[in-house]
Amino acid sequence: MENQTAIIIPARYGSSRLEGKPLLRVCDKSIIQWVWEKASSCTLADRVIVATDDERIFNECKSFGAEVEMTSTEHKSGSDRIAEVANRHPEINYIINLQGDEPLIEVENIELVIKGVKDDDKADISTLVRLITDEDEVNNPNLVKCVFDVNNYAMYFSRSKIPYERGSNKGVFYGHLGIYGYKREALFKMTQLPQSPCEQAESLEQLRALQNGMKIKVAVVNNVPVGIDTIEDFERFKALAEC
């Protein structure tokens, strides 16, 4: 089938803060299975593929019936990993990069990302943001902030507090959620470009796209998915999971 939309889930075993997290189990299911099941229930996607460089994750995915592909161990980012998989499949025109550590992401959110990149001819990439109401989050460099224009195209992403509040003026702040949709040619263009100066300064890959004139469509959502980066995140997910 031509012109497919695929959700590709990059999954690595190595993690600086929580090694082997895709294989951690809750309610007798691995984290990667939780994510795969959410992705598989998305009716706007034609297929879901796990992209990994680890045989343990590969075998786990096979055990619950996922489509899974081995990728190079040399990739520097998840987008490089999904580009390797997409390159093998000329029938895939739209690619959703869904992190393998987001087991509580809502299907509606994934569908917003798909619509953002499929329904907008000007959009090269799509992503999500959510309103930040906590001052500590505004100032937290681990939560990336985004400003966007009146047409919901991203203007900039930063670990800094943007916009800057001068005097008594109060800003409205949006936090970025790490899911992306790509048109096929946009994914290959971005992954083949050299790192840009802003990307290197902030360590944010999406700035490479912006600095090279690519357009990132933004949708605002209300919920905050629980990403699993630390053992504390994992314990919080266990408390929230419905077995």
Tens place of pLDDT per residue across the chain (243 aa):
789 999 999 998 877 677 788 998 999 999 999 999 999 999 999 999 999 999 999 999 999 999 999 998 888 788 889 999 999 999 999 999 999 888 989 999 999 999 999 999 999 999 999 999 999 999 999 899 999 999 999 999 999 999 999 988 899 999 999 899 999 999 999 999 999 999 999 999 999 999 999 999 999 999 877 788 888 888 888 888 877
Give strand pairing partners of 48: 7
Cis omega (within 30 of 0) for bond into 163: yes
**Which amino acid is present at 154?**
A
Q: How many secondary structure helices (H) and strands (E) does the chain include?
A: 9, 11
Which tokens belong to 130? 């959510």
> Looking at the domain 1-103+229-243, which fold is it?
Spore Coat Polysaccharide Biosynthesis Protein SpsA; Chain A (3.90.550)
| Predicted TM-score (pTM) of this structure | 0.93
State whether CATH 3.20.20.10 applies to domain 106-178+185-224.
no
pLDDT for position 2? 82
Element (H, E) at 84: helix 78-87
Question: Residue 228 and residue 61: Cα distance in Å, rounded?
Answer: 18
Give yes or no on whether 1-103+229-243 and 106-178+185-224 have one common fold: yes
| Domain residue limits, the chain | 1-103+229-243, 106-178+185-224
pLDDT for position 1? 73
pLDDT for position 51? 95
Residues composing the chain: 243
pLDDT for position 16? 64
Instruction: Judge whether 114 and 80 are in contact, CB under 8 Å.
Output: no
Q: Alpha carbon of 50 to those of 42, 62, 99, 145, 223: distances in Å?
A: 15, 10, 10, 28, 25
